Structure 1
Amino acid sequence: LKLLDEGGAVGTTPVWLNSQGGLHTVLQRIADAVNRYRNANPLTFFWTASLVGNRLTLTTSRGTANTIATIFASTPQDIKTSFGINTRYYSVGEGALVQTFQKPTPAVDASGAVAASVTDGTAPTLANYTNAFTQADKQVDLFNLLVLPEDNEPGAVALNLVYGPASVFCQQRRAFLIMDAPTTWKTAQDASTKVADVRVGLVKDHSAIYFPRVLISDGKKTKAIGAAGAVAGVYARIDSTRGVWKAPAGVEADIRGIVGLEQRFTDGEHGAMNPQGVNVLRAFPNGLVIYGARTNDGDDDFASEYKYVPIRRLALYIEESLYRGLKWVVFEPNDDPLYGQIRLNVGVFMHDLFRRGAFQGPKPSDAFFVKCDRETTTQSDRNLGIVNIVVGFAPLRPAEFVILSLQQMAGQLQV
């Protein structure tokens, strides 16, 4: 776009205020000319001109979300030379200079592994995930829930390949993995017949799977996404209001912020999936709720002691709490006075959980025990600097089935 003075030659200084009507009129003429040119060349020219006060603005009507117009304060008379063509945002990275942009090259740590915090714009691979777990192990002091959102980038590694290493990482850190059901699951039969394939390579008692996907509002449309993030929010809410020993399921475990479920199931379909450890989300009159609380080790055929999510997570909570709360024991004399102090400290912690309703049993001796003495710690252990503590508890199991006995009597119904 070349700006001309009134009747002058190209390249001379424009005489703005000598034009009839002043600066605003001249700018409006320029804007009209630009827009006429755009209308005549819609396939090659994508700029629209408009006036904002006494300023002429040019905006592009075409380009990707990463394309931005160049903004400048002053320009030569041949204004088109000041525009940047396809000026884009580039990922920040380290590397050689390529023209006027830094080529994004992922940083590496001392071992040569790609740093997990660097994004280079490519789809994540399994190696990226496993390295991220390594970095998190070094940098994250404490976490107890892990959610892996689905990545829809072309070429991204399938989540079923990531869940195995993720569950191992959770086992190492006494955490719990919340999994999304595969997007290929559409029916109750899919879940019942294919859940065993999903569990290959998993640490089953440190993970749980939820089905179906949830619907969220996306502008004027709805979009289906994995339920794991919403489920994690329910876990956190139940933990804070009822305790980690309460199953994150039931009418109290309503999922907020979603608009629906991708599929809905009958009681019969739910009854087929639940015994196989598939936690189903249901639509009830009081809302959309989580209606299952089994780990991936919760198939009835497995007969696992960690069949239920709250029992597994309560055990992990106790383990992590005692691990952190007994660090004072290190370097103490390894003898009877130490054992007595350990029993006292651990007993107080467990009694508090009993008082808050974490265990079953009418009295503490029925609900838990703490053993630390010369039987648990032998002379050989003491020679190696080891103290062994044995803690047991009677967990509360979720009531999945409430059985009513009905008897019809003359003139009344007795329950």
Structure 2
Amino acid sequence: MLGTAQGGLEVSGRALQRPAPNGITFKGEDFAALNFFADLDQTALTTLTLDALQPNGTFAVSPPISMTLPVPPPSIVTVPTVGAKMMEDANAVSPNGNSDGVREKLAIIAQRINNAAASSAGTLKWKAEVWGYRLAILPTNVPDNFISNTTNFTTIPATLATRFRINVNLYSVGNGGANVGQQTSAAAVATDGTPPVALDYAAAYETIDKEVDLFNLMVLPPDAAVAMTSIYPNASVFCQERRAFLLMDSPSSWTSAQLASTGVAALRVGLVKDYSAIFFPRITIDDRGKLINIGPTGAIAGLCARTDGTRGVWKAPAGTEADLRGVLGLEQRFSDGENGILNPRGVNTIRIFPNGIVNWGARTMDGDDDFASEYKYIPIRRLALFIEESLYRGLKWVVFEPNDEPLYAQIRLNVGAFMHNLFRQGAFQGAKPRDAYFVKCDTETTTQNDRNLGIVNIWVGFAPLKPAEFVILYLQQMAGQIEV
């Protein structure tokens, strides 16, 4: 019999690390205690005694209340056979062979305690519950710090009482407790710590390098006490090293389109501009019934993931279908004229339209019209990173291969197949493959000196959907190495 549905006992691997249950509880997780109870004759447990309690948690002067368990209703003897054990239940037909009697008897004891408490005119301040294989006897109308002791809970046979755990009514935090299971000294004054600084983020980047194999988007939720202008530059450098893209929240000080238009230039200082993008304004969400404004990049990251999965990384995460789900509003709203000022400056706006709250921009921080960058748009930059990362991982087999024309031909074949698959999915501009992409790997890209150094160079070009010119990627891989 396996599983709790069949009467089995399952103990979590973390059970010993959890706090002990409150009140008086049968040690159902202890196999020795469980076996002791299960092997008792059903007629062996005759009496259970609990003390009367005062509301202040002291013991009343009135005598304890005893329950004679074999006497109905309900009787703990459910199987009339002589010598029947507690493990046997009264079910004539059961999937576990009538061996679920332990839970049955614990439930009967709990019912007897609750019946006695209901008829005691308020003198028996206890209630009973069954938690799986645990019988829990809990004091009522007493302080949190109340704790019973073994003299106030008795059973016949007496040895059964030792199979119960005695604990406080409720755990007390602070110096109000003085018994086992309570905190006996005042807690230290709590603190939120200090705001993270650039060195803390640098340490996090080192951890990511060791622990995270692959990521392609980075979001740094801003801290009100941290100047993110000192954090974003190093983050963009790290993204460049890992072929990822940084999504940046606009500063909370941007309260108008004019402030955003004049303030974006300061944010570009120190950034790897084509590996980052900024989104404005902040969005409004429901935080447990309270409306708050937060940075939009978490929602934008989700939008990018959704767009990547449904359309491809080459599709801009913007437009009427790029709605932000779970967002209730915006901190600011823009007119078409204001958007016409922000978009050419490389500020991606989030706007409210009849079909929802949508992202209405797809420019990198290198997307100012004055820059004329080939990586002006987010989808072009991310598509290039996707191709570069995919080829880097897909060409690792080249290492230790002979660095000569047969290798170059195989590289052209493999990379060409990958690029043609993207072409068929609509990732590139052009009606024919030769108009959309090219792959070059030969003695022209890899000189004799490169071969002597164990290097093979691969040129991959593609025509992105927005601009008309080719974007060229240069990849370098080790080849012809001697394996020792």
TM-score by length of 1: 0.72
Q: Separation in 2 of the partners of 1:86 and 1:101?
A: 5
> Is the Cα contact below 8 Å between 1:5 and 1:15 reproduced in 2?
no
**1:205 equivalent in structure 2:** 274
Equivalence for 2:304? 235
- Equivalent residue number for residue 69 of structure 2: none
1:146-167 deviation line (CA, Å, top 9, x unaligned): 1111235xxx433222111111
1:162–1:254 Cα change, 3 Å: same
Alignment of 1:3-402 (within 5 A): 15-17=63-65, 23=120, 25-26=122-123, 55-57=139-141, 74=149, 84-86=172-174, 122-152=194-224, 156-397=225-466
CA distance in 2, matches of 1:298, 1:272: 13
Q: Deviation digits for residues 271-322 of structure 1, max 9, x if unmatched? A: 0000000000010001100000000000111111100000000000000000
Cα contact 1:279–1:290 (8 A) shared by 2: yes
What is the CA-CA distance between 1:120 and the residue it aligns to? 8.7
Paired residue secondary structure (1:185) = coil
Q: Which runs of 5+ in 1 are unaligned?
A: 31-51, 60-68, 89-97, 104-118, 400-415
Q: RMSD between aligned alpha carbons?
A: 3.7
Distance of aligned partners of 1:243 and 1:383 in 2 relative to their CA distance in 1, 3 Å threshold? same
| Cα 1:101–1:355 shift into 2, 3 Å | farther
Q: Secondary structure at the match of 1:136?
A: helix
Cα offset for 1:211? 0.3
Which amino acid letter does the alignment assign opposite residue 25 of structure 1? G
Structure-1 separation of matches of 2:467 and 2:334? 22
CA pair 86-349 structure 1, distance change in 2 beyond 3 A: same
Cα distance in 2 between the residues matched to 1:71 and 1:168: 59
* Partner Cα distance (2:448, 2:175) in 1: 73
Q: Deviations over 1:165-222 (max 9, x none)?
A: 1111110000001111001111000100001111211111011100001111123331
Q: In 2 relative to 1, CA 70–338 (structure 1 residues): closer, same or farther, beyond 3 Å? A: farther
- The answer to whether the 8 Å contact 1:170/1:176 transfers is yes
CA distance in 1, matches of 2:368, 2:213: 33
Aligned identity (percent) is: 60
2:145–2:168 CA contact under 8 A, matched in 1: no
d(CA) in 1 for partners of 2:316 and 2:424?
A: 18
- Considering only CA atoms, is the larger Rg found in Structure 1 or Structure 2? 2
1:294 is matched by which residue type in structure 2?
R
Tell me the SS of whatever aligns to 1:289.
strand
Pair 238,312 (structure 1): closer, same or farther in 2 beyond 3 Å = same
Q: Which amino acid aligns with 1:388?
A: N
CA contact (8 A) 1:70 1:87 kept: no
- Residue 87 and residue 184 in structure 1: after superposition, are their counterparts in 2 closer, same or farther (change >3 A)? farther
Distance 1:257 1:388 in 2: 46
Whether the aligned pair in 1 keeps the contact of 2:146 and 2:168 (CA below 8 Å) is no
Aligned partner of residue 151 in structure 1, secondary structure: coil
The equivalent of 1:45 in structure 2 is none
Aligned residues of 2:348 and 2:359 also touching (Cα < 8 A)? yes
1:109-153 per-residue CA deviation (whole Å, 9 max, x = no partner) reads xxxxxxxxxx9955333222110111101110011011111235x
Q: Shift of the alpha carbon at 1:23?
A: 4.9
